[in-house]
Amino acid sequence: MLHLRAIVPPDRTEAVCAAMTECAGATNVVVLPGAARSPRGDLVQIDVARESANEVLAALRRLGIDKDGSIAMEKIDLSVSEVAERAERRAPGHGDDAVVWDEFDRQVTEGSILTWSFIAFLALATQLAGIAALIDSPVLVVGAMVLGPEFAAVAAICYGIFRRQPARIWQAVRALLIGFVSAIVITYVCALVSKWIGVIETDRLPANRPLTAFIYSPDRWSFIVALLAGAAGVLSLTAGKSSALVGVFISVTTVPAAGNLAVALALRHGTEITGSLEQLAVNFLGMIIAGTVTLFVQRAVWNAVLRQRGRSAAKRST
Strand partners, 184: none
Tell me what percent of the residues of the chain surpass a pLDDT of 70: 92
Quote the CA–CA distance of 278 and 272 in Å, as a whole number: 10
Per the domain annotation, does 261 fall within a domain?
A: yes
Q: Are residues 159 and 279 in the same domain?
A: yes
Q: Are residues 152 and 9 in the same domain?
A: no
- Measure the CA angle with vertex 317, ends 312 and 318; round to 5°: 100
Average per-residue pLDDT for the chain:
88
For residue 43, the one-letter residue type is: L
Q: What residue numbers bound the domain in which 56 lies? A: 2-97
pLDDT of 212? 86
Q: Are residues 76 and 143 in the same domain?
A: no
Per the domain annotation, does 311 fall within a domain?
A: no
pLDDT interval class at 63 (50, 70, 90): very high
Q: Between 239 and 293, where is the model more confident?
A: 293
Instruction: State which of 67, 97, 127 marks the end of a domain.
Output: 97
CA 13 to chain centre: 34
pLDDT of 79? 83
Strand partners, 119: none
Q: What phi and psi values does residue 31 have, to the nearest 5 degrees?
A: -120, 125
Q: Are 56 and 46 in contact (CB under 8 A)?
A: yes
Quote the CA–CA distance of 201 and 66 in Å, as a whole number: 61
Strand partners, 3: 47, 74
Q: Are residues 21 and 164 in the same domain?
A: no
Instruction: State which of 77, 97, 117 marks the end of a domain.
Output: 97
Tell me what percent of the residues of the chain surpass a pLDDT of 90: 52
Per the domain annotation, does 153 fall within a domain?
A: yes
Residue 24, helix vs strand vs coil: coil
Burial class (CB within 10 angstroms; exposed 0-12, middle 13-18, buried 19+) of 3: middle
Instruction: State which of 97, 127, 152 marks the end of a domain.
Output: 97
Q: Are residues 137 and 200 in the same domain?
A: yes
Q: Which of 150-159, 161-170, 201-210, 250-259 has the lowest mean pLDDT?
A: 201-210
Q: Are residues 190 and 146 in the same domain?
A: yes
Q: How far is CA 45 from CA 23, 79, 83, 91, 177, in A?
A: 14, 15, 15, 18, 42
Per the domain annotation, does 87 fall within a domain?
A: yes
Number of domains in the chain: 2
The pTM score is: 0.86
Per the domain annotation, does 310 fall within a domain?
A: no
Q: What is the pLDDT of residues 220-248, one digit of tens each?
A: 999 999 999 999 889 888 876 665 666 66
Per the domain annotation, does 252 fall within a domain?
A: yes
Q: Are residues 115 and 139 in the same domain?
A: yes
Quote the CA–CA distance of 272 and 76 in Å, as a whole number: 49
DSSP string, 228-297: HHHHHHHHHHHTT-HHHHHHHHHH--HHHHHHHHHHHHHTT-HHHHHHHHHHHHHHHHHHHHHHHHHHHH
Q: Are residues 283 and 180 in the same domain?
A: yes
Above 60 in pLDDT, residue 31? yes
Q: Are residues 107 and 92 in the same domain?
A: no
Q: Are residues 136 and 92 in the same domain?
A: no
Per the domain annotation, does 222 fall within a domain?
A: yes
Q: Are 282 and 254 in contact (CB under 8 A)?
A: no
Q: Among residues 268, 285, 269, which one has the least CA distance to residue 213?
A: 269
Q: Are residues 138 and 227 in the same domain?
A: yes
Indicate which CATH number applies to the domain containing 34.
3.30.70.260
Quote the CA–CA distance of 101 and 220 in Å, as a whole number: 33
Above 70 in pLDDT, residue 314? no
Per the domain annotation, does 267 fall within a domain?
A: yes
Q: Are residues 90 and 113 in the same domain?
A: no
Mean pLDDT to the nearest integer, 160-181 = 95
Q: What is the pLDDT of residues 76-134, one digit of tens each?
A: 888 888 888 888 888 877 767 788 899 899 989 998 899 999 999 999 999 999 999 88
